[in-house]
């Protein structure tokens, strides 16, 4: 039996109430960890001329998941698009948890259209605030709030769109910034015993692909299928576990061979 040494650990998962985030929360709870499930309490106004890429789970979904997980898990709200949102979240989670042993920066902003022709300074800023700036601040705050030499592992959720993906300019480049942040903070924090890694998912079925798109996507994945949220969650648990204790600054592509 592999012992991940995650039992009794305190985990903060941003965007932890739905789809990939919920799978990550469940995976840590299955290891005996206590999970702070971050969510966005209110619906954000839709930017003029744009549409959201996903529906954001709210209070009811987050609190329901917390009850399901048990073990002292709880839901905590914050708007990561706001300048002080990430800092407030780190402080609130630490007050409830006592410490943060694992931080998973999973929350993401994705809107369409996201092409070169539709690009605006405002749309870029919205993507970067949530996808790059908030994870940077949360990383800084988690390190600052750490007591003594307690363990701290940070896992950022990127995307293979960070390499190259047509029609996802703001989303893809903000995630590329997140991968750069992963390497930079890994080097800065290694001397303190803090590890920082990332997982880059390929096409994952989170409800946004209909049957035709699902079949089409499967043809471009060498392993012949799109991913499930659990595929990503298992990789995140590995990077947070004792088994990856000498791994830092890495971006692990979990994509069935897609976009190699």
User: Would you name the residues annotated as active-site residues?
Assistant: 171
Q: Are 19 and 54 in contact (CB under 8 A)?
A: yes
Name residues whose C-beta falls within 8 Å of residue 250's C-beta, 6 or more positions apart in sequence: 182, 197, 198, 239
- 215 is written with which tokens? 């079949």
3-state DSSP assignment of residue 241: coil
- 221 is written with which tokens? 């994945």
Task: Return the closest-CA partner of residue 26 out of 61, 62, 64, 68.
Answer: 68
Q: Are 202 and 256 in contact (CB under 8 A)?
A: yes
Distance CA 172, CA 163 (A): 7
Whether residue 141 has a cis bond before it, omega within 30° of 0 = no
Distance CA 242, CA 246 (A): 9
Going from the C-alpha of 85 to that of each of 53, 90, 148, 211, 222, the distances in angstroms are: 21, 9, 25, 37, 39
3-state DSSP assignment of residue 201: strand
């Amino acid at each position: 039996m592999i012992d991940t040494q995650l039992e009794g650990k305190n985990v903060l998962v941003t965007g932890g109430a739905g789809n990939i985030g919920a799978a990550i929360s469940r995976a840590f709870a299955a290891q005996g960890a206590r999970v702070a499930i971050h969510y966005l309490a209110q619906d954000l106004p839709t930017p003029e001329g744009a549409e959201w890429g996903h529906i954001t789970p709210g209070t009811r979904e987050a609190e329901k998941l917390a009850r399901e997980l048990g073990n002292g898990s709880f839901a905590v709200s914050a708007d990561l698009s706001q300048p002080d949102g990430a800092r407030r979240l780190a402080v609130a989670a630490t007050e409830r948890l006592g410490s943060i042993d694992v931080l998973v920066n999973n929350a993401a902003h994705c809107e369409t259209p996201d092409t070169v022709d539709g690009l605006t300074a405002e749309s870029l800023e919205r993507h970067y605030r949530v996808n790059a700036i908030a994870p940077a601040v949360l990383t800084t705050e988690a390190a600052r709030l750490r007591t003594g030499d307690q363990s701290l592992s940070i896992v950022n959720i990127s995307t293979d769109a960070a390499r190259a993906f047509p029609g996802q300019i703001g989303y893809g480049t903000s995630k590329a910034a997140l991968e750069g942040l992963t390497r930079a903070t890994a080097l800065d924090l290694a001397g303190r015993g803090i590890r920082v890694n990332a997982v880059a998912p390929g096409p994952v079925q989170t409800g946004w692909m209909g049957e035709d798109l699902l079949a089409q996507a499967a043809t471009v994945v060498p392993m012949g299928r799109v991913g499930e949220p659990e595929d990503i969650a298992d990789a995140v648990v590995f990077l947070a576990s004792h088994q990856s204790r000498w791994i830092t600054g890495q971006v692990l592509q979990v994509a069935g061979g897609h976009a190699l």
